[in-house]
Chains A and B, each alone.
Chain A
Amino acid sequence: MHKIWLIIKREYLVRVRKKSFIIMTILGPILMAALLIVPTFLATQTQEERIIALNEDVNYILEDSEFIHFTTIPTSEAELLKTDFSESPFYALLYLEGENFTLYSNQQISLSVSKSIERQLEQLIEHEKLKLLGIDLQMLEDASTEINITTKIISEDGFTSNSQAEASMGIGFISGILIYMFIFMYGTMVMRGVIEEKTSRIVEVIISSVKPFQLMMGKILGVALVGLTQFVLWIIITIIISTVAELAFLDANVMVTEMNSSDQSVILAQVAEFTGGINLLQIFLAFIFYFLAGYLMYSALFAAVGSAVDTEADTQQFVLPITIPIILSFVLITPIMENPDGTLAFWMSMIPFTSPVIMMVRLPFGVANWELSLSIGILITSFIATTWLAGRIYRTGILMYGKKATYKEIWKWLKY
């Protein structure tokens, strides 16, 4: 046990100290935040005040909005503008010809401006027509109705709870994707580590001190810790960034400060209601389990592939069959979310190669306890079996140099 700790420690420290790890850990959340913040930031910054000239023919009263102001000009001036717009103080000119409205400008008119004018005109003309037909606007308003259907789930023990499809989809999707990413990124990291040991020829030196299985497991667990570290750091950094961004936002915007103090509890209550029908603790625990068990099973296979080849270029033929089930489960996330209790969903959440992703997608929609236990049991059993098999391939593979491994060859290694 002491030796496997040494191995875990080395595998962990070597990777965590790498520049690429540090850069990815810091840059990841910043890039994510940038992806979310920058477009909104840009959208608010480019908003300048725009004055739209209305030809006096347009006798609708358009309301000014925050960035768009309207002003009426005489036809003579409008006619002049239509030929030469360059000197005018206006952003655009709204001109009515017969039934048709036209916006003239010397630049590309932004979609948001034309849409907002369209909306106002539509409403004004609609109201005018309704008035002509003799319909009272107030009556119309009173008659308008809005209905929200609440869906409730009656569980086996008789409790009813709110079901929230959107939240379920969100949670399922995010956890499924995270597991998929984790298996892929860190599984291949294990594989590359094994190949490195093989090509640098250090492996025989090490396995004269420890069992090949210890070396393999030490590597797998060390890399798992690297992944968890990165994950936790991402969460922490994201929280820091969003807090900082929020504070910066508060300074600039007084309106938010006013509503913030009172609304915090309201928002919390809304979140609670939104996710009310979902057993968050169960999902969290299941996530940790599928996250780790899925990774452990796949990374053992990746380690076996790494041991069988001499260079990374040779891995393709072996990696493909391993990645197909993960990619398949990724592709099936959407159809399974649409029918989380179907036959496909059931079987995919039982087959150990797809269950880590698929069960996490299904879980927020509610899964019977026996199904969950069965899936967990199958995954544990197959994790032990694949690790054992991978260990047998690994211990022979790492000592084979210069031989191109084939499936037939690997089958033989299993029996040595």
Chain B
Amino acid sequence: MNKLLIVKDVVKQYGDYTALTNANISVPKGSIYGLLGPNGAGKTTLMRIINQITAPDSGEVIFDGKPLQKHHISEIGYMPEERGLYKKMKVGEQALYLAQLKGMSYNEALEKLKFWFEKLDILSWWNKKVEELSKGMAQKIQFIVTVIHEPKLLIFDEPFSGFDPINAAIIRKEILELAEKGTTIIFSTHRMESVEEICDHIALINKSKTILEGTIEDIKKQFTANTFEVITSGGELQENDVFTIVSLKDNNYHIKPKAGKSAKEILESILEDTEIISFKKETPTMEDIFIKAVNNA
């Protein structure tokens, strides 16, 4: 698959403190890429490097096939976790200013802003001062100024913090729409449920290193322990030559197939003893994977 962004062996040190040692990610074009990791793992540093806010000590960043350069700024949109607006400035004026800083002309910026303000139904805020808006309202403006210049790559750092569920849903919808149109999106978060919902690729960064990377599917496969969850209607299960019982609570069994036995064989062997209400292969949630990977590393 064609990669939009490749970060190769990036190292960044602040004095004695190492923020990144050998960070590696490769983001396919058009993907929604989750950048996960506990606090202080180096996610923000990595995003700052991609945005050319700080320069790496060594390693390379390749954007769209070429080493990252100053002019790429207009092709990247970044919504940092620490975000805000000038409180005393009017909404419209401020949005225009930020859009022009991204390299848009005044007229182009005005046109696109009107479009987005109408789309999110906030045109009436144009002449309000930011300090008159609620936090959620300000976040919407923030979202618009991030995407206004139609960049190839959008980077969101904890995009849903500060939004109420309704507005979070609106923003999520907009992000997915942008992804459908072909924009590549990097998501940084430690909220696992949004990762599973939205992302197709992830990278896990822990203690300044990339410890896991790939499609969600592959990673889940990698972490699947090959166990089944069985709920019976009341009959007891007995271990046999097909499976062993890992744990049991009431009628809820976790069983593990013996070597070379298939799901079909297990199912048949259980059905000889009792009725089944539910039978499913256990797949770990991203949260399980996250905790497991961090603890193992």
> Quick check: B100 and A205 within 8 Å, CB to CB?
no
> Quick check: B100 and A208 within 8 Å, CB to CB?
no
> Quick check: A204 and B101 within 8 Å, CB to CB?
no
> Quick check: A204 and B98 within 8 Å, CB to CB?
no
Interface residue A206 (Cβ < 8 Å from any Cβ of B): yes
Q: What distance in Å separates the Cβ of B13 from its nearest Cβ neighbour in chain A? A: 9
Interface residue B181 (Cβ < 8 Å from any Cβ of A): no
- From A10, A201, A415, give the contact of B82 (CB < 8 A): A201
Interface residue B53 (Cβ < 8 Å from any Cβ of A): yes
Interface residue A82 (Cβ < 8 Å from any Cβ of B): no
Interface residue A27 (Cβ < 8 Å from any Cβ of B): no
Q: Return chain A residues, CB-CB under 8 Å to B145.
A: 205
> Quick check: A205 and B102 within 8 Å, CB to CB?
no
Given A416-B14, A416-B15, A206 contacting B101 (CB threshold 8 A): yes
Q: Return chain A residues, CB-CB under 8 Å to B53.
A: 204, 207-208, 212, 399
> Quick check: A201 and B97 within 8 Å, CB to CB?
no
Interface residue A344 (Cβ < 8 Å from any Cβ of B): no
Q: Return chain A residues, CB-CB under 8 Å to B87.
A: 196, 200
Interface residue A401 (Cβ < 8 Å from any Cβ of B): yes
Interface residue A202 (Cβ < 8 Å from any Cβ of B): yes
> Quick check: A14 and B88 within 8 Å, CB to CB?
yes
Q: Return chain A residues, CB-CB under 8 Å to B78.
A: 205, 208
Cα–Cα, bound, A416→B78 (Å): 23
Cα–Cα, bound, A153→B14 (Å): 60
Cα–Cα, bound, A199→B161 (Å): 18
Cα–Cα, bound, A415→B14 (Å): 9
Cα–Cα, bound, A208→B80 (Å): 9
> Quick check: B85 and A200 within 8 Å, CB to CB?
yes
Q: What distance in Å separates the Cβ of B185 from its nearest Cβ neighbour in chain A? A: 16
Cα–Cα, bound, A343→B223 (Å): 79
Interface residue A328 (Cβ < 8 Å from any Cβ of B): no
Cα–Cα, bound, A204→B54 (Å): 11
Given A415-B15, A416-B14, A209 contacting B83 (CB threshold 8 A): no
Q: What distance in Å separates the Cβ of B90 from its nearest Cβ neighbour in chain A? A: 10
Cα–Cα, bound, A205→B97 (Å): 12
- From A14, A212, A401, A415, give the contact of B89 (CB < 8 A): A14
Cα–Cα, bound, A7→B15 (Å): 31
Interface residue A129 (Cβ < 8 Å from any Cβ of B): no
Interface residue A235 (Cβ < 8 Å from any Cβ of B): no
B-facing residues in A391-416 (Cβ within 8 Å): 399, 401, 412, 415-416
Q: Return chain A residues, CB-CB under 8 Å to B73.
A: 208-209
Q: What distance in Å separates the Cβ of B225 from its nearest Cβ neighbour in chain A? A: 40
Give the size category of A's interface with B: 20 to 34
- From B48, B54, B86, B100, give the contact of A202 (CB < 8 A): B86
> Quick check: A200 and B15 within 8 Å, CB to CB?
no
Measured CB to CB, the nearest residue on chain B to A14 is B89
Interface residue B84 (Cβ < 8 Å from any Cβ of A): yes
Q: Return chain A residues, CB-CB under 8 Å to B54.
A: 399
Q: What distance in Å separates the Cβ of A358 from its nearest Cβ neighbour in chain B? A: 38
Q: Return chain A residues, CB-CB under 8 Å to B83.
A: 201-202, 204-205
Q: Return chain A residues, CB-CB under 8 Å to B80.
A: 201, 204-205, 208
Q: Return chain B residues, CB-CB under 8 Å to A399.
A: 48, 53-54
Q: Return chain A residues, CB-CB under 8 Å to B102.
A: 209
Interface residue B252 (Cβ < 8 Å from any Cβ of A): no
Interface residue A152 (Cβ < 8 Å from any Cβ of B): no
Measured CB to CB, the nearest residue on chain B to A412 is B15
Measured CB to CB, the nearest residue on chain A to B17 is A412
Interface residue B215 (Cβ < 8 Å from any Cβ of A): no
Interface residue A6 (Cβ < 8 Å from any Cβ of B): yes
Interface residue A58 (Cβ < 8 Å from any Cβ of B): no
Interface residue B51 (Cβ < 8 Å from any Cβ of A): yes
Q: What distance in Å separates the Cβ of B139 from its nearest Cβ neighbour in chain A? A: 12
Cα–Cα, bound, A347→B101 (Å): 44
> Quick check: B100 and A204 within 8 Å, CB to CB?
no
Cα–Cα, bound, A210→B100 (Å): 11
> Quick check: B86 and A200 within 8 Å, CB to CB?
yes
Q: What distance in Å separates the Cβ of A22 from its nearest Cβ neighbour in chain B? A: 15
Cα–Cα, bound, A209→B48 (Å): 12
* Residue of B84, B87, B142, B145 most packed against chain A (CB within 10 A): B84
Cα–Cα, bound, A64→B199 (Å): 102
Cα–Cα, bound, A399→B48 (Å): 10
Interface residue A127 (Cβ < 8 Å from any Cβ of B): no
> Quick check: B97 and A401 within 8 Å, CB to CB?
no
Q: Return chain B residues, CB-CB under 8 Å to A201.
A: 80, 82-84
Q: What distance in Å separates the Cβ of B10 from its nearest Cβ neighbour in chain A? A: 16
Q: When each residue 52-87 of chain B gets 1 if its CB lies under 8 Å from chain A and 0 otherwise, what string results?
A: 111000000000000000000100101110111111
Q: Return chain B residues, CB-CB under 8 Å to A196.
A: 86-87
Interface residue A3 (Cβ < 8 Å from any Cβ of B): yes
Measured CB to CB, the nearest residue on chain A to B98 is A205
> Quick check: B98 and A206 within 8 Å, CB to CB?
yes
Q: When each residue 178-222 of chain A gets 1 if its CB lies under 8 Å from chain B and 0 otherwise, what string results?
A: 000000000000000000110011101111111010000000000
> Quick check: B15 and A205 within 8 Å, CB to CB?
no
* Residue of A6, A204, A206 most packed against chain B (CB within 10 A): A204
* Residue of A197, A207, A208, A212 most packed against chain B (CB within 10 A): A208
Q: Return chain B residues, CB-CB under 8 Å to A197.
A: 86
Given A3-B101, A14-B88, A208 contacting B51 (CB threshold 8 A): yes
11 contacts between A and B (CB under 8 A): A14-B86, A197-B86, A200-B85, A201-B84, A202-B86, A205-B84, A205-B142, A208-B80, A412-B14, A412-B15, A415-B15
5 closest A-B pairs by CB: A201-B84, A209-B101, A204-B80, A200-B84, A208-B78
Contacts A200-B87, A207-B53, A212-B53 given; 19 further ones with Cβ under 8 A?
Answer: A3-B101, A200-B86, A202-B84, A205-B80, A205-B142, A205-B145, A206-B98, A208-B51, A208-B52, A208-B76, A208-B78, A208-B80, A209-B73, A209-B102, A210-B101, A399-B48, A401-B82, A412-B14, A412-B15
